[in-house]
Amino acid sequence: MLLKLAWRNIWRNKRRSMIVIGSVMVGVIALIIIDGLNNGFLSQMLFNQVDLNISHVQIHKRGFHDNKVVQSFIPDKKKVEKILRKNGKIKHFSERVVSFGLVSSAVSSSGVFILGINPEDESKITTVSKSIIKGKYFNGKGREIVIGSKLAEKLKVDLGGKVIALANRPDGSIGSEVFRIVGIFRSPSSNFDKTYIFVPIKTLQRMLGIGNNIHEFAIVTQNYNLAETVRDEIKQELSDKYEVLSYHDILPLLIMQMDLYKETMYIINMIIGLALIFGIINSMLMAVFERVNEIGVLMAIGMKNGKIFSMILLESLLIGIVGTVFGVFIGLGLNEILSVQGIDFSLFSKSLESWGIGAVIYPHLSLENLITTFLMIPFITMLGAIYPAWKAIKLEPVAAIRYV
Amino acid sequence: MEILRTENVNKIYRDNGVPVQALKDINLKISKGEYLVIAGPSGSGKTTLLNLLGTLDKPTSGKIFFENSDYTSKNRKELSEFRLRKLGFVFQAYNLIPVLTALENIEFSMMLLGIPEKERRERAMNLMAELGIDDLADKKPNEMSGGQQQRVAVARAIVNNPLIVLADEPTANLDSANGSKLLDLMEKMNEEKNITFIFSSHDKQVIERAKRLIILKDGQIVNEN
């Protein structure tokens, strides 16, 4: 009955309650949009890198990740392949030769990562093949090369143009090859577009004089969340001559940033909650002062302070719950629309692309933060009623009954 | 059987720093089943005395005993519990909870006692039928007349079988016909259920029906019969 009484008390002054519920609702919508945007921002920063190049899990010879020397080959390619094929959690994998070198055109040159790939396998691992804006993704034969748009601008080359790639061979000599540009890609990361070039794996192996050796296996699992499980499973089957890394290991700073962001959301919740709390205090104080006489009667008929206190807190909590529920529904609806359409931040495209995010951000809500908002905002709303409730129980029954 | 006793009760208010003696040396003994009216002109101390007897206020000096237990030294929580279990109140302005129906208003004090919903509903309905107000069950206070509201207030006051019902000017806001109907009801409850009623009133028809009358003047009992 206390709940019924509290609920009905809220609607005694519909306009005032609707204003407070509206303010809670706006706060919750703002939190959902902020969370969606921030989370989308960080997720895009992380997953663009994962999808463009990193993949979910990588296997190298131990030490290759920190020191990419050309002679650090995968010790037993066949053995690794066998292990990968029998793991049901792995969707695709691709062999890579990775080298750091120089690419030159007639007018300019630039330091780049040269990736020797099998395009058919690699197209299942990364999104580069889908990011071609000119020409095509190569077929993996001959001296074809795919480069980024930023690099093409820097080298002042276009489709059909020739570039020379140079890189160290294991014996210390320089390997070189002339390539014809068959495709130019544009990814969400301007840095990636400037520093990565893709050539057929056989051509790069020949250029570096490394036979059939490779440096890396790039693996895509059934979903992102399986990356660490798959890493651990592969690790168990390989000796310590190998290093097996998930994208968490390769991009630790971004993962830390995402974890830190979750903590930040608590603070943002608190700030919005604090902004709301003053409105709640004001509204609940008015509600208490309007009912001084009635509170006096409740005291006279034997309602204890604890129950009166709870009733006022409950009224505020109900306002918070109603506002939060509506806010979550509207916020989720808006988030759903924005997550499909994306929010165009072309005005800031330069800086966003340098962060590897892309000019369009697709909001992405985290369930954890949504639950935090759902629990925290009604709780904060309830806290806002503590002072008015305290004022109520400090009333003297005789004075309260006579209060006009 | 004596249920209530006051010993040299005094109440002094401060009005802008000036002490005002509202009650002076009140000595009273009230037995179970009494139908007592405290009468007197405005400012004589009727409501102050009723508030003290209702444990809503404390005397400046003197003691008040309920069933031989001193209630002037009890704390707020104990007094609240006592009022819930032992006292019923009927106010001049009815003071029903506006957001609850008549039935819920009557149920409310049973809810505070922790009586299960089914039982309290049954008890409230039975009492309403007994008082002839069962047709008001689903009506909210603003849908009832003053007389109807005051009858519901009486039901609320007696539903927990209190030791004493304190009624402060219960007929003041009613016309004489409705006032008379209300008094009939309270008399009936006094006679049939042996509930003790203490009224404060200067309404002639309340005073005429008193089985015991105490006249107050300037905070002192000047006549008792």
Domain membership of residue A248 (yes or no) is no
**A101-150 pLDDT, tens digit each:** 999 999 999 999 999 999 999 999 998 989 999 998 887 778 899 999 99
B130-161 in b/e burial notation, b at 16+ Cβ within 10 A? bbebeebbebbbeebebbbbbbbbbbbbbbbe
| A367 close to B (CB below 8 A) | no
Please tell me the total count of domains within chain A: 2
Of the three residues A185, A211, A239, the one that is the final residue of a domain is: A239
d(CA A329, CA A319): 16
**A12-33 pLDDT, tens digit each:** 889 989 999 999 999 999 989 9
Report the side by side order of strands in the sheet with B220-224.
Answer: B87-90, B164-168, B196-200, B35-39, B212-217, B220-224
Phi, psi angles (nearest 5°) of residue B175 = -75, 170
Asked if residue A261 and residue A136 are part of one domain, the reply reads: no
Domain that holds residue A129: 63-239
pLDDT at A188 over 90: no
Say which residues have a Cβ less than 8 Å from residue A244's Cβ, sequence separation at least 6: A57, A58, A59, A231, A234, A235, A238
Asked if residue A225 and residue A293 are part of one domain, the reply reads: no
> Most confidently modeled of A81-90, A258-267, A369-378?
A81-90
We report the CATH number of the domain holding residue B58 as 3.40.50.300
Neighbours of A262 (CB within 10 A): 15
Domain membership of residue A215 (yes or no) is yes
Which residue of A lies nearest to B83 if distances are taken between CA atoms? A302
Asked whether B216 and B39 are in contact (CB, 8 A), the reply is: yes
Asked if residue A130 and residue A28 are part of one domain, the reply reads: no
* Residues A45-61, mean pLDDT to the nearest whole number: 90
CA distance A298 to chain B (A): 8
Asked if residue A325 and residue A186 are part of one domain, the reply reads: no
- Identify the burial level of A307 via C-beta atoms within 10 angstroms of its C-beta, where 0-12 means exposed, 13-18 middle and 19 or more buried: middle
* Residues A150-176, mean pLDDT to the nearest whole number: 93
Mean pLDDT of chain A: 90
d(CA A323, CA A276): 11
Asked if residue A398 and residue A337 are part of one domain, the reply reads: yes
Find, among B147, B110, B113, B109, the residue nearest to B131 by Cα. B147
Please tell me the total count of domains within chain B: 1
Phi, psi angles (nearest 5°) of residue B102 = -55, -45
Of the three residues A239, A272, A299, the one that is the final residue of a domain is: A239
Position B15 scores a pLDDT of 82
Q: How confident is the model at residue A356 (pLDDT cuts 50, 70, 90)?
A: low
**Which one of B15, B96, B104, B108 makes the best mutation probe of the A interface by having the most chain A beta carbons within 10 Å?**
B108
Q: At what angle do helices B176-193 and B146-158 cross, to 10 degrees?
A: 20
Position A111 scores a pLDDT of 95
d(CA B37, CA A51): 89
- Identify the burial level of A78 via C-beta atoms within 10 angstroms of its C-beta, where 0-12 means exposed, 13-18 middle and 19 or more buried: exposed
pLDDT at A269 over 90: no
More confident residue, A142 or A307: A307
Give how far Cα A276 sits from Cα of A32, A36, A105, A374, B63, Å: 16, 21, 61, 15, 49
CA distance A286 to chain B (A): 17
Position A276 scores a pLDDT of 86
**A281-286 own/partner pairs: CB under 8 Å, 24+ apart:** A281/A384, A281/A385, A281/A387, A281/A388, A283/A16, A283/A17, A283/A19, A283/A20, A283/A319, A284/A312, A284/A315, A284/A316, A284/A384, A284/A385, A284/A387, A284/A388, A284/A389, A285/A387, A285/A388, A285/A391, A286/A16
Asked if residue A300 and residue A211 are part of one domain, the reply reads: no
**Which one of A301, A315, A393, A394 makes the best mutation probe of the B interface by having the most chain B beta carbons within 10 Å?**
A301
> What's chain A look like in SS3?
CHHHHHHHHHHHHHHHHHHHHHHHHHHHHHHHHHHHHHHHHHHHHHHHHHHHHHCCEEEEECCCCCCCCCCCCCCCHHHHHHHHHHCCCEEEEEEEEEEEEEEECCCCEEEEEEEEECHHHHCCCCCHHHHEEEECCCCCCCCEEEEEHHHHHHHCCCCCCEEEEEEECCCCCEEEEEEEEEEEECCCCHHHHHHEEEEEHHHHHHHHCCCCCCCEEEEEECCHHHHHHHHHHHHHHCCCCEEEEEHHHHCHHHHHHHHHHHHHHHHHHHHHHHHHHHHHHHHHHHHHHHCHHHHHHHHHCCCCHHHHHHHHHHHHHHHHHHHHHHHHHHHHHHHHHHHHHCEECHHHHHHHHHCCCCCEECCCCCHHHHHHHHHHHHHHHHHCCHHHHHHHHCCCHHHHHHCC
Interface size, chain A vs chain B, as Cβ–Cβ contacts under 8 Å: 70
Domain membership of residue A245 (yes or no) is no
Asked if residue A229 and residue A85 are part of one domain, the reply reads: yes
Asked if residue A136 and residue A105 are part of one domain, the reply reads: yes
Asked if residue A235 and residue A327 are part of one domain, the reply reads: no
| Contacting residues of A for B94, CB less than 8 Å apart | none
**Which one of B46, B74, B80 makes the best mutation probe of the A interface by having the most chain A beta carbons within 10 Å?**
B80
pLDDT at B68 over 70: yes
| Contacting residues of A for B104, CB less than 8 Å apart | 1, 4
pLDDT at B92 over 90: no
Position A341 scores a pLDDT of 87
pLDDT at A404 over 70: no
**Nearest CB neighbour to A301, from listed B51, B77, B109:** B109
| Contacting residues of B for A1, CB less than 8 Å apart | 104, 107-108, 111, 117
Of the three residues A239, A264, A298, the one that is the final residue of a domain is: A239
d(CA A348, CA B52): 74
| A398 close to B (CB below 8 A) | yes
pLDDT at B115 over 70: yes
Query: Nearest 10 degrees: CA dihedral of A163, A164, A165, A169?
Result: 170
Q: CB B91 to CB A398 under 8 A? A: no
d(CA A148, CA A137): 12
Asked if residue A361 and residue A327 are part of one domain, the reply reads: yes
**Poorest-pLDDT segment among A124-128, A204-208, A364-368, B155-159:** A364-368
Asked whether A110 and A194 are in contact (CB, 8 A), the reply is: yes
Q: CB A302 to CB B83 under 8 A? A: yes
Asked if residue A169 and residue A42 are part of one domain, the reply reads: no
| A8 close to B (CB below 8 A) | yes
Domain membership of residue A368 (yes or no) is yes
Asked if residue A305 and residue A175 are part of one domain, the reply reads: no
Q: How confident is the model at residue B2 (pLDDT cuts 50, 70, 90)?
A: confident
Q: CB B98 to CB A5 under 8 A? A: no
pLDDT at A323 over 80: yes
Find, among B61, B50, B64, B46, the residue nearest to B216 by Cα. B46
Q: How confident is the model at residue A179 (pLDDT cuts 50, 70, 90)?
A: very high
pLDDT at A288 over 80: yes
Domain membership of residue A143 (yes or no) is yes
d(CA A41, CA A37): 6
Domain that holds residue B168: 2-224
Q: How confident is the model at residue A348 (pLDDT cuts 50, 70, 90)?
A: confident
For CA atoms B87, B93, B96, B97, the dihedral sign is negative
Q: CB B84 to CB A302 under 8 A? A: yes
Domain membership of residue A58 (yes or no) is no
Position A81 scores a pLDDT of 93
Percent of chain A with pLDDT over 70: 99
Mean pLDDT of chain B: 91
